[in-house]
Amino acid sequence: MINTGKLAGRTLFITGASRGIGKEIALKAARDGANIVVAAKTAEPHPKLPGTIYSAAEEIEKAGGRAHPCIVDVRDEVQVRTAIQEAVAKFGGIDIVVNNASAISLTNTPNTDMKRYDLMHNINTRGTFLVSKECLPYLKKSNHAHILNISPPLSMLPKWFGPHVAYTMAKYGMSMCVLGMAEELKGDGIAVNALWPRTAILTAAIEMLTGAESAQWSRKPEIMADAAYAILSREPKQFTGQFFVDDEVLEAAGIKDLKQYACVPENADNLMVDFFVEAKGATAPTAAPAGAGASTPTTGSDNGKIPQLFQKIESLLSPEIVSKTQAVFQFNISGAEEGIWYLDLKNGTGSCGSGTPPTTPDSTLTMNSNNFFDMFSGKLKAAPAYMTGKLKISGDFQKALKLEKLMKALKSKL
């Protein structure tokens, strides 16, 4: 998307702007000559994550904007207020707030400790509310006031809650801020909207969740930056309370070819759909009561393709594989070959078979038997399967993704 200059001289307060989507939105606005408050925690280089508030500020100024880096933990009221006061003192006001800072933990209820629960809710929901609240006096003085939350459309489908209810609640809290504040502030001429990606976006967070190969099925953060720019360039009184999806925003703006945003253009038609949205053109299923249609798996029979598959796996097990993996997996399979199976890659030389594992599983994977075969044959990757609801994971998420590396190594032999 070509810059139009509509954000020239505007001041944007962006949380989590030291890297990823937040930084890309900042750089896009900077090319118009906007003022950017880089509000993030990272002041010193992180051993695993790229970027600091200072390196981001340097990039912003090279792009043509003015930057003010602020050390801000959105959970800290004093830090938030101080950063806002500094922004107003330096730039004369605040026109736009982008609530991008977020925490994620894709764990089920038993595996979500309360420290992690509090972190997600305090950053995602409370942080969004706090930053928006403290910026309101200045937004009300602006003639181009926007609040944009990087949060998903609200959907009550159980599939978005079951695997990671704590994270969904925290993320939906940001979206509920949109719903409530849009109604509350429409008389003040402040647009309050949400933006969410259709597909996985290649950021440090997605790489930590799904591994180095995540680029294969992700889009670049620039698609979110361009979509945010299109939203924030519009007159705020014309729309509010909307839950935008990036590709729809760009298509409405006349950008039809989205292949440019794919990290790997050859895979532009095979991208991983993000949480909380359906694939492009798909119709969302009607919400069903939680647990509807659920059945209790039984132990697997000796007939069928699954027993044959596990026999092959067993013949390939070795101390080296056990040493590299160090995890016990349980598979709850539904469909034509319903049953429970296990793969122990933690003890001895490894073992597998029908029924529950001899020791407590580190990760339990639940899926349809067809998806199970596709995953072990390499046709279906674990991370995209999880994000599209074809695979449910309970327990240690990272160890579950280790299984994909194992399957890749064994693929030619299975």
By annotation, the residues acting in catalysis are: 167
The closest of 106, 100, 110, 31 to 72, measured between CA atoms, is 100
The matching CATH number, chosen from 3.40.50.720, 3.30.420.40, 3.40.50.2300, 3.50.50.60, for 11-267 is 3.40.50.720
Distance CA 23, CA 59 (A): 9
Distance CA 285, CA 307 (A): 33
pLDDT at 7: 98
What separation in angstroms does the CA of 258 have from each of 140, 192, 269?
A: 36, 26, 10
H runs (alpha helix) in 163-277: 165-185, 204-210, 222-232, 246-252
- β-strands 339-345, 327-334 pairing: antiparallel
What separation in angstroms does the CA of 98 have from each of 153, 281, 344, 398?
A: 16, 28, 46, 30
CATH code for the domain defined by 305-412: 3.30.1050.10
Cβ pair 353, 300 in contact under 8 A: no
Angle between the 53-62 and 20-30 helix axes, to the nearest 10 degrees?
A: 30
Cβ pair 205, 115 in contact under 8 A: no
Instruction: Give φ, ψ of 354 to 5 degrees.
Output: -85, 145
pLDDT at 94: 98
- β-strands 146-150, 191-196 pairing: parallel
Distance CA 312, CA 120 (A): 42
**3-state DSSP call for residue 56?**
helix
The closest of 71, 85, 8 to 40, measured between CA atoms, is 71
Altogether, the residues listed in the chain come to a count of 414
Average pLDDT along the chain, 414 residues, taken 10 residues at a time: 95 97 98 98 84 96 98 98 98 98 91 96 98 98 98 94 94 98 97 97 79 83 98 96 98 95 92 88 55 43 74 88 89 92 92 92 90 80 74 79 69 58
The residues spanned by each domain of the chain are 11-267, 305-412
pLDDT at 297: 42
pLDDT at 206: 76
- Output the pTM of the full model: 0.81
Distance CA 392, CA 298 (A): 17
Distance CA 339, CA 329 (A): 14
Q: What is the sign of the dihedral through the CA atoms of 11, 152, 71 and 54?
A: negative
The secondary element (H helix, E strand) that includes residue 15 is strand 11-15
pLDDT at 396: 78
The CA angle 203-192-40, to the nearest 5 degrees, is 40
Tens digit of each residue's pLDDT (9 = 90 or more) over 61-110: 999 999 999 999 999 999 999 999 999 999 999 999 999 999 999 888 98
pLDDT at 160: 92
Instruction: Give φ, ψ of 209 to 5 degrees.
Output: -80, -40
